[in-house]
Amino acid sequence: MTVLQGTRPRVNAGRLVEQVAGLGAIGAVPGGGVTRLAFTPGDVEGRAYVARLMEEAALAVRIDAAGNLIGHRPGAVPGAPALVLGSHIDTVPDGGAYDGAYGVLAGVEVARTLHEEGVRLNHPLAVVAFCDEEGAHGTMGMLGSHGFAGVLPPGAARVLDDRGIPVADLLAAVGGDAERLAEAAWSPRDIAAYLELHIEQGAVLERLGVPIGVVETITGRVNVSVTVDGVAGHAGTTPMEHRADALDGAARLVLAVRAIAADERVVLRATTGTCAVEPGMWNVVPGRVRLGVEFRDTSAGALEAALARLAEAAAEVAGATGTRVTVVPGARTSPVDCDADLRELIARASAEQGLPYHRLPSGAGHDAQIVARIAPVGMIFVPSRDGVSHAPGEYTAPEHLAWGADVLLTAVLMRDAT
Ligand code: HGY
Ligand code: MN
Ligand code: MN
Ligand code: MN
């Protein structure tokens, strides 16, 4: 393990793999998954684990008002903009140990390697664990990176999660401060480059047998709340022809959403991920159903077309089922291209490490796409076994974890030298 010996700088692979397992043990649930939703005690414990590692890496640790955990290392050139490495450590319910966590831990490992080898970079280095990337309990998701980029929607702190808790209170639980959110924002002048290392969460690299992905474009996404209002009634006495069954309408809409991607090819991906039935009794015809829908595509126009198509489907279903359907588009992230120079930099860093690479788009969302509003961003992928993510089977082989971090380290050293 040495950063400057020979031509191939390396991180401490064993240490990194151990730390991925160590963080993965926090929030581990039976069945092999990890449940470490943002703002929960598990998240707080995970953040403390990462903060300790940051200190061991000689980073100065702080939490900004948007709840981001930031480790900072000064640079040699006064006033130089920072190289920022980041991702997130929160998970979805019963998710995996690698999504996000790997990128944060690898960033800290890069800093620790530089420290141990006595390498002074020209630029300051910041390693960031962004707050609430996954959108815990119905929050907007990528909350911390929005704060970091200064692009939080107005009133974001007053929004209630799906349990009725204001985002301001959630932020307070992790050391954020809703009153000072503006202070979390970085200026484009502060950042030279942002690099995010992440598991692919798809099976492209594995199928190709290539260890490194150079991300070209990050998917855009729009969330949509769909509410179907019918008339609740007695399941035994309300005749079938007199029903306005909200779940009948919702079921048709679930299929319509799927068809918008699968059959009509209006958009790349269409998912109904949540369904809440009211009042939710076997013996009551459902009076109201709320669906959580999302569309994803690397084209903003496709997302708009999908929204338009959903509005048409909603009108058709309402007419056919005697229900009222309300469609409210919510959080929206635009598709984003990774910076052309950083793509080439990552490709060269892989070549320097003797590692084959493949250029590909990201179907998952990432904090990088929010940071892209204020800085050039680059993303490095490593293979995911069977392409599984957001599920307990998520796994990346130790050598892939190590190689991805080596590429990140090499990219940092190369970018610092320019
Ligand atoms: O779902 C997403 O793509 C995001 O990473 N949470
Ligand atoms: Mn995720
Ligand atoms: Mn992620
Ligand atoms: Mn009864």
In the predicted structure, residue 243 carries a pLDDT above the cut 80: yes
* CA angle at 111 for the pair 374 and 173, rounded to the nearest 5°: 65
Q: Give the model's pLDDT for residue 3.
A: 56
Please work out whether the CB of residue 365 comes within 6 Å of at least one atom of ligand 1: yes
Higher-pLDDT residue of 331, 73: 73
- 87 C-alpha vs ligand 3 centroid, how far in Å? 7
| φ and ψ at residue 183, rounded to 5 degrees | -70, -15
- The ipTM is 0.89
In the predicted structure, residue 334 carries a pLDDT above the cut 60: yes
Rounded to whole angstroms, the Cα distance separating 42 from 48 reads 10
Give residue-wise pLDDT tens across range 300-315.
999 999 999 999 999 9
Substitution site in 221, 293, 370 for ligand 1 pocket (most atoms within 8 Å of beta carbon): 221
The number of the ligand nearest the C-alpha atom of 233 reads 4
Q: Give the model's pLDDT for residue 331.
A: 84
Please work out whether the CB of residue 132 comes within 6 Å of at least one atom of ligand 1: no
Per-residue pLDDT band at 6 (split at 50, 70, 90): low
Q: Give the model's pLDDT for residue 44.
A: 98
Please work out whether the CB of residue 339 comes within 6 Å of at least one atom of ligand 1: no
Rounded to whole angstroms, the Cα distance separating 150 from 173 reads 21
Q: Give the model's pLDDT for residue 78.
A: 93
- Ligand 1 atom closest to 296 (CA): 3
Rounded to whole angstroms, the Cα distance separating 19 from 35 reads 17
Give residue-wise pLDDT tens across range 177-206.
999 999 999 999 999 999 999 999 999 999
Rounded to whole angstroms, the Cα distance separating 206 from 356 reads 12
116 closest CA partner among 53, 70, 49, 57: 57
Arithmetic mean of pLDDT, 326-348: 96
pTM for the full model?
Answer: 0.91
Rounded to whole angstroms, the Cα distance separating 288 from 279 reads 7
Q: Whose CA is nearest to atom 4 of ligand 1?
A: 365
How many other CB atoms are there within 10 angstroms of residue 39's CB atom?
A: 25
- Ligand 1 atom closest to 366 (CA): 5
Please work out whether the CB of residue 133 comes within 6 Å of at least one atom of ligand 1: yes
What domains sit in the chain, N to C, each tagged with a CATH number?
A: 13-219+335-416 (3.40.630.10), 221-333 (3.30.70.360)
Rounded to whole angstroms, the Cα distance separating 334 from 369 reads 8
- Sequence-distant (6+) residues with CB within 8 A of 74 are 124
Q: Give the model's pLDDT for residue 355.
A: 97
Q: Give the model's pLDDT for residue 8.
A: 78
Per-residue pLDDT band at 234 (split at 50, 70, 90): very high
Instruction: State both tokens at 187.
Output: 């200026």
CB 249 within 8 A of CB 230: yes
